Amino acid sequence: MTSSYFIRIMTLMSIFLGGLDIASANASPPPDLKLDNHPWIHYSSGIRSYNFFDVYQCALYIPDKDIPISSLNLTKLEYPVAIRVEILTSMLPDKMPDIWRKTIKPEIIDKAFRRFQKGFLNLNERDVLLFVYLPGEATSLFLNGRLLFKDPGPELMEALLEQWVGSHPVSEDLKRVLLGD
């Protein structure tokens, strides 16, 4: 019982304090995406871990390899973008982390947030969350391929990018992470 309690505390600390590290060489790269029968290109990924304990892998996708990283303007998204989050552990916290709540809740209606929160509480190892933004349409959230909700406009994806990528998408640190330099 004590070790289970310790692991849950470490998981919480990882989610709150851990950084999103560049995926290590021995980590499996995320798979290619195919959405509406069109391939999306894996642009970058990282693993959120704490004390050698991997919590999830986060990957950024774009539909066209010719889209420059500098075009990922967080204040006005002009291109489609997707974020894939794969859960790497079965020992998740009993409630949604505050940082996820603060990022997602203000951007979506209460009914959609409750659906997301319920989905979060049922997450387990190997589950996949996929956020997809299509300009002029919506940001959609899929859990294991099943649509949970669509939120009109780019605001949800912009908040997610700022949370997971940072507020300066063309900074030297981000270029290093995204491009592997």
DSSP structure string for 20-46: EEEPPTTSPPPPPEEETTEEEEEEEEE
116 — pLDDT class (breaks 50, 70, 90): confident
Q: 111 by DSSP, 3-state: which?
A: helix
Mean pLDDT of the chain: 74
Report for 4-8, 72-76, 77-81: range of highest mean pLDDT: 77-81
Amino acid 21: pLDDT: 42
Domain residue spans in the chain? 2-179
In the block, residue with structure tokens 């291109």: 79
Q: At residue 31, does pLDDT exceed 50?
A: yes
Q: At residue 22, does pLDDT exceed 90?
A: no
30 — pLDDT class (breaks 50, 70, 90): confident
Better pLDDT: 93 or 1 = 93
CATH architecture of 2-179: 3-Layer(bba) Sandwich (3.50)
